[in-house]
């Protein structure tokens, strides 16, 4: 007799600094359930609604073994598709079903993908500072922890100022220092201001300083966060070539990917792209043209493990590598899902990792562990991470400071973050 879906529910919790969404799928088999990640922290409540009001009634009673069938059905059922809210909702169910399948098989999920091709997953962390000297100090601290790959940033993305001061929910303030620093016009609106040209100069100075002080043995990553005009991105990638980055991340926005060909033709700086993509087909021109080196996506943003494993296969065939998006706006179960794919994929490149707070570890048992530069799953059947719903309820949804999303150029023009 087939094991079927008995219940689906979204669990919204905030045990760290951002709102997280997990999805629990319960089955007709007593005690058998799965947990997946559906975190779209900027629109967390919309994802909860999509799970509870739309996916739940659609999927109850369906065979839990038919993961591909369920994914295709749910993906097309809304008719309008490819959006982050629905993709995250679908990811929560998809990852939970892989968790269930692993438990039914008595195996970790990586075994279902063909087994390990590596014993541990190399990770990189985020390192920043308000000056190049402070960045170096923090970098050396991470190196002492065992990290061999580190993303380095001086200041916030784009070197912006006043990205975190809120007033009556209206966005970041402009104070006199900002006005003087960026020479903004009279009556300039509130916003998180940044100067692309200054950002490029300061970042190149930082990279030169770090390489002179820390050498070339440590692998460095840098994230532009799509904050440059396309032609400036081309020039910046060329200048960064001398510092031998492991990769340069998101130098262009998803709307401007045609410029990658010009970058590729002019320099050999390794490139990573895709954090903001929603549909796996958005990568295809970049994959087929071999215009980037690392596929970088938020797994729940594209719909979970089912599409991600297909992208990993495409990366392998075209000589590209994966670098899944892994900041703090992902649940520990989402981190585990990435790691199971990392362990089994020949196309693996590197895994971003932001660590777990003590509260997150109290809510999510079985969190992956970091040891001397590598991440390890706990080898339990399924994804290996569970959620304590009572503990999760102790950390309710909260409105947090998202001022960094109010990005503006020095003349006050609103731009994407």
Residue 280 pLDDT? 83
Alpha carbons 404 and 25: distance in angstroms, whole number:
34
For residue 152, is it within any domain?
yes
Residues 189, 229 within the same domain: yes
Q: Do 43 and 149 have their domain in common? A: no
Instruction: Examine residue 389 and state whether it is found in any structural domain, yes or no.
Output: no
- pTM for the full model? 0.94
The CATH number of whichever domain residue 99 belongs to comes to 3.30.390.10
* Residue 101 domain-assigned (yes or no): yes
| CA nearest to 161, candidates 185, 178, 176, 175 | 178
Q: Are residues 92 and 124 in the same domain?
A: no
- Whether residue 160 is found in the same domain as residue 305: yes
Q: Which of 251, 159, 272 is nearest to 205 (CA)?
A: 159
Pair of tokens at residue 175: 């104070």
In a domain, 220, yes or no: yes
Residue at which a domain ends, from 67, 85, 108: 108
Question: pLDDT digits over 267-323, tens only?
Answer: 999 999 999 999 888 889 999 999 999 999 999 999 999 999 999 999 999 999 999
Give pLDDT, residue 174.
60
Residue 229 lies in a domain: yes
Question: 183 catalytic, yes or no?
Answer: no
Candidates 126, 222, 225, 298; catalytic one = 225
List the CATH number of the domain containing 263: 3.20.20.120
Q: Are 8 and 51 in contact (CB under 8 A)?
A: yes
> Tokens representing 136?
């170096």
Residues 328 and 190 in one domain: yes
396: in domain: no
Are 253 and 376 members of one domain? yes
- Please name which of 166, 160, 169, 224 lies closest in space to residue 192, comparing C-alpha atoms: 160
Residues 165 and 98 placed together within one structural domain of the fold: no
Task: Point out the domain boundary residue: 108, 138, 165.
Answer: 108
In a domain, 200, yes or no: yes
Q: What is the 3-state secondary structure (H, E, C) of the chain?
A: CCCEEEEEEEEEECCCCCCEEEEEEEECCCCCEEEEECCCHHHHHHHHHHHHHHHHHHHCCCECCCHHHHHHHHHHHCCCCCCHHHHHHHHHHHHHHHHHHHHHHCCEHHHHCCCCCCCCEEEEEEEEECCHHHHHHHHHHHHHCCCCEEEEEECCHHHCECCCCECCCCCECCCHHHHHHHCCCCCCCCCEECCHHHHHHHHHHHHHHHHHHHCCCCEEEEECCCCCCHHHHHHHHHHHHHHCCCEEECCCCHHHHHHHHHHHHHCCCCEEECCCCCCHHHHHHHHHCCCCCEECCCHHHHCCHHHHHHHHHHHHHHCCEECCCCCCCCCHHHHHHHHHHHHHCCCECCEECCCCCHHHHHHEECCCEEECCEEECCCCCECCCEECHHHHHCCCCCCCCCHHHCEECCCCCECCC
pLDDT at site 171: 44
- Burial (CB < 10 A; 0-12, 13-18, 19+), residue 415, is middle
**Residues 264, 331: one domain?**
yes
Last residue of a domain, one of 90, 108, 126: 108
Report the alpha-carbon distance of residue 70 to residue 90 in Å, rounded. 9
Q: What is the pLDDT of residues 167-207, one digit of tens each?
A: 334 444 566 666 667 788 888 888 888 899 999 999 999 99
Q: Same structural domain for residues 308 and 266?
A: yes
**Which residues, given as ranges, of the chain have pLDDT below 70?**
159-180
Query: Using an 8 Å Cβ cutoff, are 230 and 257 in contact?
Result: no
Gap between the Cα atoms of 213 and 206, Å rounded:
11
Regarding whether 336 and 267 lie in a shared domain, the answer is yes
Q: How many structural domains compose the chain?
A: 2
Residues 320 and 261 in one domain: yes
pLDDT of residue 113: 98
Structural domain boundaries enclosing 49:
5-108
Q: Is 151 part of any domain? A: yes
Q: What is the pLDDT of residue 116?
A: 98
Catalytic residue among 147, 157, 243, 374: 157
**355 and 275 co-located in one domain:** yes
């Amino acid at each position: 007799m087939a094991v079927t879906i008995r219940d689906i529910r979204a669990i919204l919790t905030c045990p760290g600094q951002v709102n997280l969404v997990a999805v629990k799928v319960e089955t007709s088999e007593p005690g058998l359930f799965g947990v997946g990640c559906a975190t779209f922290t900027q629109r967390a409540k919309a994802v909860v609604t999509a799970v509870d009001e739309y996916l739940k009634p659609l999927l109850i009673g369906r065979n839990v073994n038919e993961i591909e069938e369920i994914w295709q059905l749910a993906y097309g059922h809304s008719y309008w598709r490819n959006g982050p809210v629905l993709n995250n909702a679908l990811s929560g169910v998809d990852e939970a079903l892989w968790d269930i399948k692993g438990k039914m098989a008595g195996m970790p999920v990586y075994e279902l993908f063909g087994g390990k091709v590596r014993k541990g997953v190399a990770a990189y962390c985020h390192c920043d500072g308000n000056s190049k000297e402070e960045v170096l100090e923090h970098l050396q601290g991470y190196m002492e922890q065992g990290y061999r790959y580190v993303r380095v940033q001086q200041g916030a993305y784009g070197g912006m100022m006043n990205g975190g001061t809120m007033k009556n929910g209206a966005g970041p303030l402009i104070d006199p220092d900002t006005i003087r620093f960026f020479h903004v016009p009279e009556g300039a609106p509130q916003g998180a201001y940044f100067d692309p040209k200054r950002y490029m100069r300061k970042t190149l100075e930082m990279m030169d300083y770090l390489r002179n002080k820390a050498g070339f043995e440590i692998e460095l990553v840098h994230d532009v966060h799509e904050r440059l005009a396309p032609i400036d991105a081309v020039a910046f990638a060329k200048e960064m070539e001398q510092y031998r980055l492991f990769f340069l991340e998101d130098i262009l926005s998803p709307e401007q990917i045609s410029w990658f060909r010009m970058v590729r033709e002019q320099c050999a700086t390794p490139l990573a792209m895709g954090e903001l993509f929603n549909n796996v087909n958005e990568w295809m021109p970049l994959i087929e043209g071999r215009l980037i080196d690392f596929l970088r996506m938020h797994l729940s943003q594209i719909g979970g493990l089912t599409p991600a494993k297909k992208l990993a296969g495409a990366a392998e065939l075209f000589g590209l590598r994966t670098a899944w998006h892994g900041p703090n706006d992902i649940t520990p179960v989402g981190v585990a899902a990435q790691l199971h794919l990392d362990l089994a994929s020949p196309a693996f490149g590197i895994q971003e990792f932001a660590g777990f707070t003590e509260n997150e570890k109290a809510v999510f048992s079985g969190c992956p562990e970091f040891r001397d530069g590598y991440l390890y799953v706990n080898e339990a059947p399924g994804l290996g991470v569970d959620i304590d719903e009572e503990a999760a309820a102790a950390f309710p949804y909260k409105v947090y400071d998202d001022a960094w999303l109010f990005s503006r150029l020095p003349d006050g023009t609103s731009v994407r973050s």
